[in-house]
Structure 1
Amino acid sequence: MIIHKKPLHTLGYDFIPGEYLPQGADEYYLRNRQQLSAYSYRPLSETEIDRLMRNGNYSPNWADVWVTDSFLPEQIEHSKFYGRVRIGDMEAIYLEYRDLKLPAGIYNSTIVSCDIGGRTAVHNVRYLAHFVIGDEVVLFNINEMETSSNAKFGNGILRDGDAESSLIELELCNENGGRGVLPFDGMQASDVYLWTRHRHDRQLQDRFSAMTFQRFDTFRGYYSVVGHRTVIKNSHTIKDVKIGTDAYIKGVNKLKNVTVNSITGAYTQIGEGCELVNGIIGHGCRIFYGVKAVRFILSSFSQLKYGARLINSFLGDNSTISCCEVLNSLIFPAHEQHHNNSFLCAALVMGQSNMAAGATVGSNHNSRGADGEIIAARGFWPGLCVSLKHNSRFASYTLIVKGDFLHELDVRLPFAMVSHDVANDRLVILPAYWFLYNMYALMRNNTKFLNRDRRTLKNQHFEYDVLAPDTINEAFAALREIETAVGKAFYPDVQNTDWATLGRKIIDDATINLADHEILLEGVENSKRKVVLIKVREGYVAYRRMVEYYAATQLKHYFDGHTFEQFKAEYLDPTVQFGRMPFENMGGQLVRKPDMDALLDDIRTGKIADWDKVHQRYHLLSNEYPTHKLEHAIASLLELNGMEKAELTRDFIRQLIDESVKTKEWICREIYKTRAKDYSNPFRQMVYENLDEMKAVVGSLENNAFILQQQEEYERYRASAAGIQV
């Protein structure tokens, strides 16, 4: 280990090595651009220097300590100043935040070449070097705050003179780094999704890297920043950070190479025992109690807490991870993972997901190498003690029942329950499970995720409705799979036929008992054992009913503000062409695949040359999404019923909307019924002395807020539907 010895009077100077200084610039040229407040500084007077020295302060060069005309030397005690230090306006005040009350000024601290904002309280900071501090900031009991001349603040960039090997990447979706991306402040889940896909397209991948590099210059010499009204106390090491306004940081072990976004109304809080390295934190986040995060992005209004470990991962907006470990994963908005013994690794999880206790998703211990992946569409819910193997893929709202799944899975039916039938050595799939048996939990998601979306700038439309273009497209695929499976089950000896047509006829004939045949799905599990469909007709009918309901609600919403004549002109004209297009879940935002492909083409060719323009396209597509969703709904309705556009008459649409009112009523009944089971189950009741105690503990069914809300929503929908003039 080499410890360099240099003259004391040089401490605080030459922050930028001479070979990296632009011609004609001094070492402060970038620092001057980073000023948070406009102050007019002047040198200290002899009287002020004398007062400072009598207060126990020291500097080898008092001429480089600059102040404003509102300087109060009595507010600086027992501190040392090296290099150029500038101090903003001072007042005879103290700053109070919660129970901490500290006089403004600088006390018992060592300051090296910093800008200290106005009316700031700096107490017991043992080493503060190369920081720009905002106004009314509180720094209390901090061991070390310092900045490297090549600080990057969590961004995946290089400064002049940096080795290529020092470039920070997030190795997402796969442990081998083959889907790595360069993080940057402002990165959205959609950016990461596009970048982690299309790895074979070298031109596109190079454009993503180039757009990231061009967001930043390569100059050395940027200072760390602490924004106005931020409070940092009782912390150990804070190095190479960019911290926004109004943040609250207490008791952290380490913040290193991190950007912390924070503003008034969306302030970020980081608490005791946290160690955060090489990361970017969004607005309004909460991180506390022993969190360890390395190479990460935490999107706005998300939480890490209670010892969570987040490594080489991206966590989308409005998500929570507690206690557990998440590695090499890309997670879209509205993810929940609360249990200490859950584990998520090498996965793309498309949001609105929930990891149960004991779930192990993506461990490579049951494969030959760290190169597997799991892809789970939104609404993914691996249940208690589920263990899954790479590679696997799951349709939207897949519920997986407790068990060790030893083989790779490709579950293509949405809203299904997947269970491991150990006794009969088979996999069992119940299609449309959520609609048939747990409507309460499913529909509660619609409201829950909307209420939790606290983004202040909603430049992207995140789709939270369980019935949307992505899930409806999956429902159509599920209908064809069920029809084919039924056809093969009833006619096993027939070759080269249209199994789906045969199966559809069988399903439509209510006199045929489907339970008399074992109905099998193919290509679901990488094994020789059977994959059995149960409750087949019920699931099939539920899929069709919900597709029709989806179309009806979209049309109803359209006719809330439009006439039938407008509808004819906009959608029934023979020259107007649209179909049931494929949609991509692009970071929580649903986008038609041709629109996504057009975006990628524009990036590839340089027509879109920076990430801000990409984000503008997201915003444009969000604005167009309601129209695209309506077109998709109409096309779905026509395909479901084998109709032409000309058959969408006034009477048909009126009848369709009336039928949707009945479906809405059915949904409300199912919500009530599935929740009521919890009150009538004797095993649920047995821990209470009587029904009154049960109600006192868990609340009464009659006063359930969600049920009451759904009933009110139904009444509004019914009344509104009755008033529509189609």
Structure 2
Amino acid sequence: MNEIIKRPLNALGYNFIDPPFLPAGKDEYHLRNLQNRNGIEYRNLTAYEIEALVRNNNTSDDWTKILVSDAFNPELVKNCKFYGLVRIGKLEPVYLEYHNVCQPVGLYNSTLISCDFGDNVVIKNVNYLAHYIIGNEAIITNVHELHTTSRSKFGNGVIKDGEEEDVRIWLEVCNENGGRKIMPFNGMLPGDAFLWSKHRDDKLLLQKFKEFTERRFDKQRGYYGKIGDRTVIKNTSIIKDVWIGCDAYIKGANKLKNLTINSSPEAQTQIGEGCELVNGIIGFGCRIFYGVKAVRFVMSSHSQLKYGARLINSYLGNNATISCCEVLNSLIYPAHEQHHNNSFLCAALIMGQSNMAAGATVGSNHNSRAADGEIIAGRGFWPGLCVSLKHNSKFASFTLIAKGDYASELNILLPFSLISNDTSNNQLIVMPAYWFQYNMYALARNAAKYIDRDKRIKKTQHIEYDFLAPDSINEVFSALDLLEQFVAIAKNGSEMNDPDDFITAVGKKVLEEKKLGTTDVFAFGFENDTRPVKVVKVQQAYDIYKQLIVYYGVSQVISHIQINKINSFEKLIESLPAKPKRLEWHNIGGQLIQQNAVDSLLRNIKSGSINSWVEVHEFYRKHGQLYKTQKLEHAFASLLELLNITREQFTPALFKNLLQQFLEIKEWMVKNIHDSRAKDYQNEFKKMVYDNPKEMDEVIGALEDNVFIQQQTEELDTLKITVESILERFQLLEVTTDLPN
């Protein structure tokens, strides 16, 4: 039976805070008065104003509870019912226009309960508006229900005085069984979500994270909802317990409940038709349109949900877009793209710069026994059309997966690989360094695209978008070792129980001397199946991996020279790290941070040296500032390790040679960028839908007009000039060089 409560009409709008939870010496408005910062001085109504309000068919339980500013105009209030303490700012005989819709300033045809209004607001046809503080020049029209309860948390994972623990909102990210659940809070960054979800065996650390979150919010009951200046809300059904920033635009939503909607003049958030959003945090500059359903979620700034997307128990990183599909129990880093109605993502940690193709089903437990599996994918994850993966699976950075059903768990350790399912021969095929051989255009263009699309106003976390960075380069080094081991086993029949260093040395000799020939190479430990895992294009991948390390290392040294205006080789050596180390790095929400720094952060949190999320965010900011220097050290150490030399052996002749290699690699990359795009213009099946080349150019653009290819060519030309300048300044033009081993 529904519990319908009867109370006296003259009590409507009062006793917002239940007496047991009202602090001693405080009235029910004490928090409201702290929240209202509009600076308006309110006064009581005059007899004339009350008469005018009554004449305009307005009613109030107590006219002394209506307070107004000196610039209040009672003629602009019509057909309204007032209950409780209502405070109204300036009302002038003007109209407000937004998106070609014009509305006269004033309060019309609405029921208003215990609210504060700023200057020159439009409130029209709001059936029920209670316990809100509304900013200046806000427009709210045709809303059925807009109110705040005394226990509102505005989407944050906290509880109020007197509430039971079971009402707390958790996000069950990465795993469907709730074993990695986190408490959402306004301002939560991707790194926060990762750290909290990852270290589940450290109970003290988890308790600290919970305390950090609870200390951000007051447990007192009685906070009002707020709607910021110039926010427009129209044709919306239910808004309950929602905090809305300024300059937001909400139109045609079905239900918004228990939310924080961040918005600002520089980063306006919009919510459109048919959306139903419950228990969430929405970042600055977000776009949510057309039938979206989201429950228990966090959207970081400048992310988008569109066209019926469903986002449940998930964290969506900055500058990401999800359309049409379903995403459950996932932690998604910045720059994620998922646009297709029949793609599905569940129980996954996706580490950024990712793209989900149509028909991809990733992280589903439909082919497992229980809801406790996970998918972990490094940066640049791209499952292709109709890919079905079984959890648990794990993928190195920039893994592309070809169409197919992958019935067994995968652990792909080679970065930049293409994975394909050869069902005719019952084997898994892994092509390492695929992107650099066949689709350099897409790899390079995506890196540039993500930088352009990063619209964050406040860049607390430094997000790495370059495909060559400490995380991927460390994976390249591991991949070199693996390829050497696989080759040794394939070529010389080395036994698996031989020491790793022996196997590696045998395989390295084969690959360095390019004596692999047509020998088939197979990987071990990549698939939870007895069928073979064949690694193809091994020699090419091995050579490319080494070139990438050279390119990465030299590019960072060149950047260092340019930024610091270094004019001699001696000063360069002096400025480079004395004892460079290629340390381990972690991807913390899209920000790459050295493992020792992360370990220190966690120790400091547990010891109490770091005692809030603000301090954790300061750690991110500090290490973002250190990143360029640390990346240089990593790059220089990578160069020395690849060449198997010490810092003292880094000579002018070697540096000159490396600069020449760098330009050759860059030329090869630019050529591959051009050629991989040119294939679309040369393929007869691509061309057959056009009657002639002119029609093709009009439809897809001429190859020679491709802006990205032009940019890459210009970048190459600039680098040639830069290298020539360095050689001249460093007096290396006459230095003779021998190619290093």
TM-score range normalised by the length of the shorter chain: over 0.9
Aligned AA for 2:233?
A: I
1:514 corresponds to which residue? 517
Whether the 8 Å contact between 1:41 and 1:66 is mirrored in structure 2 is: yes
Compute the displacement of 1:584 (Å).
0.4
Q: Which runs of 4+ in 1 moved over 6 A?
A: none
Compute the displacement of 1:528 (Å).
0.4
Alignment partner of 1:503 out of 496, 507, 530: 507
Compute the displacement of 1:341 (Å).
0.2
Distance 1:205 1:651 in 2: 53
2:559 corresponds to which residue? 557
Alignment partner of 2:576 out of 546, 571, 595: 571
Q: Secondary structure at the match of 1:213?
A: helix
1:160 corresponds to which residue? 161
1:3 corresponds to which residue? 4
2:232 corresponds to which residue? 231
Distance 1:507 1:192 in 2: 42
1:625-704 to 2 correspondences below 5 Å: 625-704=627-706
More moved, 525-534 vs 710-719: 710-719
Deviations 1:345-393 (A, max 9, x none): 0000000000000000011010110000000000000000000001000
Compute the displacement of 1:570 (Å).
3.6
Distance 1:455 1:200 in 2: 33
1:322 corresponds to which residue? 323
Deviations 1:517-554 (A, max 9, x none): 22110000001000000111001101100111000100
Compute the displacement of 1:562 (Å).
4.1
Q: Secondary structure at the match of 1:637?
A: helix
Deviations 1:631-664 (A, max 9, x none): 0001101111111110112232222122211211
1:241-280 to 2 correspondences below 5 Å: 241-280=242-281
Whether the 8 Å contact between 1:388 and 1:404 is mirrored in structure 2 is: yes
Whether the 8 Å contact between 1:64 and 1:85 is mirrored in structure 2 is: yes
Aligned AA for 1:506?
A: V
Distance 1:503 1:715 in 2: 38
Structure 1 unaligned residues grouped into runs of 5+: none
1:323-402 to 2 correspondences below 5 Å: 323-402=324-403
- The number of residue pairs the alignment matches comes to 721
Whether the 8 Å contact between 2:494 and 2:503 is mirrored in structure 1 is: no
Distance 1:718 1:513 in 2: 35
Deviations 1:537-585 (A, max 9, x none): 001101100111000100111111243344333436xxx3331101100
Aligned AA for 2:558?
A: K
Aligned AA for 1:172?
A: V
Alignment partner of 1:705 out of 704, 707, 721: 707
Distance 1:121 1:565 in 2: 70
1:423 corresponds to which residue? 424
Aligned AA for 1:571?
A: L
2:590 corresponds to which residue? 588
More moved, 594-603 vs 657-666: 657-666
Structure 2 unaligned residues grouped into runs of 5+: 731-741
Distance 1:617 1:562 in 2: 29
Aligned AA for 2:653?
A: D
Distance 1:160 1:577 in 2: 55
Deviations 1:140-190 (A, max 9, x none): 100000111000000000101111100000000000000000000000000
Distance 1:166 1:578 in 2: 51
Compute the displacement of 1:513 (Å).
4.3
Instruction: Give the TM-score taking structure 1 as reference length.
Output: 0.98
Distance 1:688 1:111 in 2: 63
Deviations 1:454-487 (A, max 9, x none): 1112222110000000000000000000000000
Whether the 8 Å contact between 2:510 and 2:516 is mirrored in structure 1 is: no
Instruction: Give the TM-score taking structure 2 as reference length.
Output: 0.96
Q: CA RMSD in A?
A: 1.0
Whether the 8 Å contact between 2:310 and 2:327 is mirrored in structure 1 is: yes
Distance 2:599 2:171 in 1: 24
Aligned AA for 1:505?
A: K
Whether the 8 Å contact between 2:173 and 2:330 is mirrored in structure 1 is: yes
Q: Secondary structure at the match of 1:702?
A: helix
Deviations 1:297-326 (A, max 9, x none): 000001000000000000000000000000
Q: Does 1:83 align with 2:84?
A: yes
Q: Secondary structure at the match of 2:265?
A: coil
Distance 2:437 2:631 in 1: 25
Aligned AA for 2:544?
A: A
Whether the 8 Å contact between 2:141 and 2:235 is mirrored in structure 1 is: yes
Compute the displacement of 1:670 (Å).
0.5
Compute the displacement of 1:612 (Å).
0.4
Q: Secondary structure at the match of 1:294?
A: strand
1:477-492 to 2 correspondences below 5 Å: 477-492=478-493
Distance 1:3 1:256 in 2: 22
Deviations 1:425-473 (A, max 9, x none): 0000001000111000000012100000011122221100000000000
Q: Secondary structure at the match of 1:140?
A: strand
Whether the 8 Å contact between 1:346 and 1:372 is mirrored in structure 2 is: yes
Whether the 8 Å contact between 1:36 and 1:227 is mirrored in structure 2 is: no
Distance 1:635 1:493 in 2: 31
2:220 corresponds to which residue? 219
Compute the displacement of 1:90 (Å).
1.5
Whether the 8 Å contact between 1:36 and 1:134 is mirrored in structure 2 is: no
Whether the 8 Å contact between 1:276 and 1:292 is mirrored in structure 2 is: yes
Deviations 1:587-623 (A, max 9, x none): 0100000011111111111100000011011000000
1:107-186 to 2 correspondences below 5 Å: 107-186=108-187
Distance 1:32 1:11 in 2: 20
Distance 1:282 1:141 in 2: 25
Whether the 8 Å contact between 1:514 and 1:536 is mirrored in structure 2 is: no
Deviations 1:328-348 (A, max 9, x none): 000000000000000000000
Distance 2:580 2:468 in 1: 20
Distance 1:501 1:608 in 2: 45
Aligned AA for 1:351?
A: G
Q: Secondary structure at the match of 1:122?
A: strand
2:737 corresponds to which residue? none
Whether the 8 Å contact between 1:305 and 1:321 is mirrored in structure 2 is: yes
Distance 1:204 1:54 in 2: 63
